[in-house]
């Protein structure tokens, strides 16, 4: 029992990652509102940042800036990778929202079921 709890506490970052991942994916599938779907998608992408950053952070280590006082540094590579991933995520979210604006103009609604009701062949 104690061991399980300890295990959980030691890896809580990963449990948060998995929680974010699953809830993001769930929102994408379960919600009919196009903007809410995008928010879920964003959440799903965000979980990946945590997945990469968790193993990169080393306990009692500093930012990787050279200084005689410190000898252990965090791994900078995953941080840099996630900067790129954040940019990709922002671009995807922005493009998705732009598409939703155009869909609203074309169909007059952003609810998936109402769109399919107006345009049954689109499904």
Partner 1 sequence: MSSLSWGTAEPHLPILLVVVPLFGALLVTFLRRGILAWALTLAVTFVLPLIAISLLAKVLQTGQPIIYEIGNWPAPIGIVYKVDQLAAYVLCVISMIGAVIMPFARRSIAAEIQEPAQSWYYAMYLLCLTGLLGIVITGDAFNAFVFLEISSLATYVLIALGRHRRALLSAYQYLIMGTIGATLYIIGVGLLYVVTGTLNFDDIATRLGPAIADPGYRNAVLTALGFIFVGVSLKLALFPMHVWLPNAYAYAPSVATAFLAGTATKAAIYLFIRVIFSVFGIALAIDSLPIPLVLIILSIAAMFLASFSAVFEENAKRMLAYSSIAQVGYIMLGIALANEASLTGSLAHIANHAVMKTALFLALGAVFYRIGSVMYDDMAGIGRKMPLTMGAFAVAGIGLMGTPGTAGFISKWYLGIGAIDAGHYSIVFMIVASSLISVIYIGRITEVVWFRAPSESAKTAKEAPLSMLIPLWLLAGATVYLGFDTQATVDVSAKAAEVLLGGIR
- Residue 54 contacts residue 82 (beta carbons within 8 Å): no
- Interacting span for partner 1 (CB under 8 A) from 4-12, 59-67, 102-110: 102-110
- Shortest gap between Cβ of 96 and partner 1 (angstroms)? 5
Q: Does 27 bind partner 1 (CB under 8 A)?
A: no
C-beta of 2 vs 122, nearer to partner 1: 122
Q: Does 121 bind partner 1 (CB under 8 A)?
A: yes
Rounded CA-CA distance 114/119 in Å is 9
- Residue 25 contacts residue 47 (beta carbons within 8 Å): no
Name the nearest CA neighbour of 59 among 48, 82, 75, 80: 75
Rounded CA-CA distance 112/66 in Å is 53
Task: Name the 3-class secondary structure at 33.
Answer: strand
Q: Does 61 bind partner 1 (CB under 8 A)?
A: no
- Shortest gap between Cβ of 3 and partner 1 (angstroms)? 16
- Residue 61 contacts residue 72 (beta carbons within 8 Å): yes
Q: What residues make contact with partner 1 under the rule CB under 8 A?
A: 21, 25, 28, 34, 37-38, 41, 44-45, 48, 51-52, 55, 78, 81, 84-85, 88, 91-92, 95-96, 99-100, 102-103, 106-107, 115, 119, 121-122
């Amino acid at each position: 029992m104690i061991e399980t709890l300890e295990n959980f506490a030691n890896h809580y970052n990963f449990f948060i990652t998995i929680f974010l991942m699953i809830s993001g994916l769930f929102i994408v599938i379960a919600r009919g509102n196009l903007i809410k779907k995008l928010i879920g998608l964003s959440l799903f992408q965000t979980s990946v940042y945590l997945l990469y950053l968790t193993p990169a952070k080393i306990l009692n280590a500093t930012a990787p800036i050279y200084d005689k006082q410190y000898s252990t540094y965090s791994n900078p590579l995953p941080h840099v990778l996630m900067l790129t991933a954040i940019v990709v995520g922002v671009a995807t979210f922005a493009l998705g929202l732009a598409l939703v604006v155009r869909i609203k103009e074309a169909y007059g609604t952003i609810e998936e079921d109402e769109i399919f009701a107006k345009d049954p062949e689109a499904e």
